[in-house]
Structure 1
Amino acid sequence: MTDTAPASTPASIPASTVPAAAAAPEWGDPFPLGLASFGISALVLASVMSGMIDAAATPAVLSLALALGFLTEIVAGVIHFRRGETFPGLVFTAYAGFWLSYALLVQFYAPMVTADGAAVTGMFLLAWALFSTYMLLAALRTNTTTVAIFVLLCAVFYLAALGAFSESTGLGHLAGYVLVADAALALYASAAVIVNTTWDRTLLPLP
């Protein structure tokens, strides 16, 4: 009887001849984008809130609120969620909602309010203050810079809400100056992340 060669099996195929599965493309870090979007929008808004620029310039704030505060922040947030990063994903998508709702309120709905306008504006700001407060609690497990950004942001919302309820221009201006500091810190953090990444070493410290 003549011996026959055993049939080849998948296990006998050398591994080097099996094509490797294509690696899924990695998402870049959207954190500096979200911070820059917030920082730029907030800085321009703060210049009006503080009284440094006349309130008649508010339409310029709304353009940034929609193009940067809303659009690019929501992009950053969705990418964070895609990367499995819930905290920054929630931060950027939620505050994207703030910028959109702020633009809609100022441009379309506030002029329609005929009673209790100060009260409803105060409640709008207070609701965001409460949200920012529990996000601050979550931020305590991140880093010092993020905590500082949320501390300042909470102060902005509480001061602005109190100013709206009491119809106090002074408190509104104070909230604007605090927002200037918050926007500057967010922009610094954005710069630190992207500069340190591209230089592959720490040029701008980010505690």
Structure 2
Amino acid sequence: MTTPTAAPTTWGDPFPLGLASFGISALVLSTVMSGIVDPAALPAVLPLALALGFATELVAGLVHFRRGETFPALVFTAYAGFWLSYALLVQFYGPMVTAGGAAITGMFLLAWALFTTYMLLAALRTNTTTIVIFVLLAGVFYLAAFGSFLGSAGLGKTAGYVLILDALVALYASAAIIVNTTWDRTVLPVP
């Protein structure tokens, strides 16, 4: 008697999920960073950062790993780590720092800028939309890092406006992938 072999499990494309998770979380955070929304509202961003930015991007990244897609897997799992560490820094650990807070925040942001830069190098082998997302995100991290190091609210606000644009590009890419897949044709081009 032969044991039946289970059919291989197929996994859907998690890329639009990861992009939507990033785009929504980044869009809400960017309104606080840019000053469009009062900075006192920052704690209200943290639940979104944890539930969507962290948890959902982590799921998207793990599915990419399961599918053997290393680049998007690393992108989404690493940035899930960003959202978790950012929420912890803002809510719990940052307020405990009495000396050197701006420097450690600057280093936190600079480390992410460096990571984003080498992910941008990898993205150069993908498509224009993904490249734009990484160029803008690297700009956000560098502006925010140097804004923190220099105590410049202006650089931080500029980072927020760049993040708005980045979030909108990510949301467009997510929409294009899911709409094109659902319609089984190109409705929204992804250059």
TM-score calculated relative to the size of structure 1: 0.90
In our comparison, the structure showing a higher alpha carbon Rg is 1
Any gaps of 5 or more consecutive residues in structure 2?
Answer: none
Letter in 1 for 2:144: A
Deviations along 1:92-120, whole A, 9 cap, x unmatched? 00000000000000000011001011111
Is 1:31 the counterpart of 2:25? The answer is no
Match of 1:13 in 2: none
CA–CA distance in 1 between the matches of 2:87 and 2:73?
22
How do 1:15-26 residues align onto structure 2 when only pairs under 5 Å count? 21-26=5-10
Name the amino acid aligned to 2:160: G
Match of 2:32 in 1: 48
Counterpart-to-counterpart distance in 1, 2:10 and 2:176: 22
Cα offsets for 1:28-74 (capped at 9, x unmatched):
10000000000000000000000000011112210110000000000
- Partner residue in 2 for 1:90: 74
Aligned length: 190
Deviation at 1:20, TM superposition (A): 6.5
C-alpha distance in structure 2 between counterparts of 1:176 and 1:48, whole Å = 7
2:108: which partner in 1? 124
**Which residue in 2 is equivalent to 1:7?**
none
- Tell me how far apart the structure 1 counterparts of residues 90 and 43 of structure 2 sit (CA, whole Å): 9
Structure 1 position 197 matched with structure 2 position 173: no
- Of residues 99, 102, 110, the one that matches 2:83 is 99
Question: Aligned equivalents of 1:24 and 1:193: distance in 2?
Answer: 24
What is the distance in 2 between the residues matched to 1:21 and 1:113?
57
TM-score (norm 2): 0.97
Q: Paired residue for 2:65?
A: 81
- Mapped to 2, the partners of 1:75 and 1:150 lie a distance apart of 20
Unpaired stretches in structure 1, ≥5 consecutive residues: 1-17
Partner of 2:55: 71
Q: CA deviation at 1:23?
A: 1.6
